[in-house]
């Protein structure tokens, strides 16, 4: 649970800093739509809120000790950080008016693939604890 808490705190800080970064970087470029505008939301929703939701699930299901959960945690966080890093890079190019590179989209796509893999690993990690929890409830009800 501590890993989830630390990750939630880190994503909260990064999300808030991303909002400030967006505001400061685009201050002199009003009306320019950039990837920087969605960085804040991605970090808070996919980072902070996801980790807080997992903390609540962990309190009930106790699934964070499994190897599959460890793989989820690494893969998901790598995917989110890679995706957000490409948003920063792409957004800075947009603010500067520089030409965009298809390589950015490719690397961002890899980040999204890692996020997808992480979600699949999370669902696998939750499978057995959910079944165990349902069996315990059924036994308690009988």
15-25 tens-digit pLDDT: 999 999 999 88
Residues 6+ apart with CB under 8 A from 117: 75, 79
- Write out the chain's pLDDT in tens, 142 residues: 899 999 999 999 999 999 999 998 888 877 778 889 899 999 999 999 999 999 999 999 999 989 999 999 999 999 999 999 999 999 999 888 888 889 999 999 999 999 999 999 999 999 999 999 989 888 888 7
Q: Structural domain of residue 69, as residue ranges?
A: 2-141
Domain count, the chain: 1
User: Cα angle at 122 between 121 and 126, to 5 degrees?
Assistant: 115
In b/e form, how buried is each residue of 74-104, taking b as 16+ CB within 10 angstroms?
ebbbbbbbbbbebbbbbbebbbeeeeeeeeb
110-138 tens-digit pLDDT: 999 999 999 999 999 999 999 999 898 88
């Amino acid at each position: 649970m501590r890993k989830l808490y630390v990750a939630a705190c880190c994503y909260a800080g990064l999300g808030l800093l991303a909002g400030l970064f967006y505001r400061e970087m685009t201050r002199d470029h009003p009306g320019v739509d950039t990837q920087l505008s969605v960085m804040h939301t991605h970090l808070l929703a996919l980072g902070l809120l996801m980790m807080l939701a997992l903390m609540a699930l962990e309190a009930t299901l106790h699934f964070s000790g499994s190897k599959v959960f460890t793989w989820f945690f690494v893969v998901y966080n790598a995917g989110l950080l890679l995706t957000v890093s490409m948003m920063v890079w792409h957004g800075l190019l947009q603010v500067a008016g520089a030409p965009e590179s298809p390589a950015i989209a490719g690397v961002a796509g890899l980040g999204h693939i890692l996020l997808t893999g992480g979600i699949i690993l999370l669902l696998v990690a939750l499978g057995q604890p959910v079944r165990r929890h349902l069996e315990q409830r059924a036994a308690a009800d009988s």
